[in-house]
């Protein structure tokens, strides 16, 4: 494991632990409380100042947004699904009956009678 080095930028002292520099931090004489803290800075392995990497969140794509919207939608219950399946089955049976009868189709050239109220 690599050791991390921390450095006080005022007195140039290096340590292996982070925190306040005990030499440069100013304390109150009576109570011993910290009046002006001096924080150590982290160094890289080549002794330059360490900068935290910039973390960018993942960019939302169209597919991600679509899947997020779909996941938030309310899903039908089992009872609703069974009712929908029955309706679809009834509609398919009605369509098959209409197509089997052959009625209701008008071919071109066939005379069509229109009944009116004035006759």
Please tell me the distance from the alpha carbon of residue 117 to that of residue 30, in angstroms, as a whole number.
112
What pLDDT is recorded for position 68? 85
What pLDDT is recorded for position 81? 94
What pLDDT is recorded for position 55? 81
Q: With a cut of 70, which residues of the chain have pLDDT below it?
A: 1, 101-112, 116-119
**Range list of β-strands (E), the chain:** 5-7, 14-15, 26-27, 34-36, 41-43
For residue 8, give both structure tokens. 């006080």
> Please, which residues bridge with residue 5 across strands?
43
95-115 CB burial, b ≥16 within 10 A, e <16: eeeeeeeeeeeeeeeeeeeee
């Amino acid at each position: 494991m690599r050791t991390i080095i921390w450095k006080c930028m005022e007195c140039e002292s290096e340590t292996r632990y982070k925190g306040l520099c005990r030499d440069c931090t100013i304390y109150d004489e009576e109570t011993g409380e910290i009046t002006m803290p001096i924080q150590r800075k982290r160094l890289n392995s080549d002794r330059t100042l360490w900068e935290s990497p910039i973390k960018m969140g993942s960019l939302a794509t169209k597919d991600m947004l679509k899947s997020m919207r779909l996941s938030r939608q309310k899903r039908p219950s089992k009872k609703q699904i069974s009712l929908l399946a029955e309706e679809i089955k009834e509609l398919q049976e009605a369509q098959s009956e209409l197509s089997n009868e052959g009625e209701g189709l008008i071919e071109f050239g066939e005379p069509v009678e229109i009944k009116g109220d004035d006759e």
